Amino acid sequence: MNECMLDRQTAGCVVEKIVLPQIVSIKQASEIMKLPPYYLRRVCRENPDIAFQSGVKWYINLGKLAAYYNNKLGA
């Protein structure tokens, strides 16, 4: 590990903020967005950049889902 990661006071050191996406299951997204699970599964199949499937379960990136609805409703 370099010194910049250890000491934030070092001159010229840039500390980047890492933002992780909020990934939730269909059931959790359904409760948060107040949308039926079957509808969210259809949206996921039609827009593969919003979600991914692991086995039979879908996992949704909430930020991308919100952006999808903001663009859809704003158009």
Distance CA 2, CA 20 (A): 23
- State pTM to two decimals: 0.67
Read off the pLDDT of each residue in 26-53 and give the average, rounded to a whole number.
Answer: 93
As a dihedral over the C-alpha atoms of residue 34, residue 32, residue 67, residue 26, rounded to 10 degrees, the angle is -90
pLDDT band, residue 2 (cuts 50/70/90): very low
What are the structural domain ranges in the chain? 21-74
Average pLDDT, the chain: 83
Q: What architecture (CATH level 2) is domain 21-74?
A: Alpha-Beta Complex (3.90)
What ranges in the chain are assigned the alpha helix state H?
3-6, 26-33, 37-46, 62-74
Q: From the CB of residue 13, how many other CB atoms can be counted at a distance below 10 Å?
A: 13
* In the chain, % of residues over pLDDT 70: 79
pLDDT for residue 44 is more than 70: yes
What pLDDT is recorded for position 54? Answer: 92
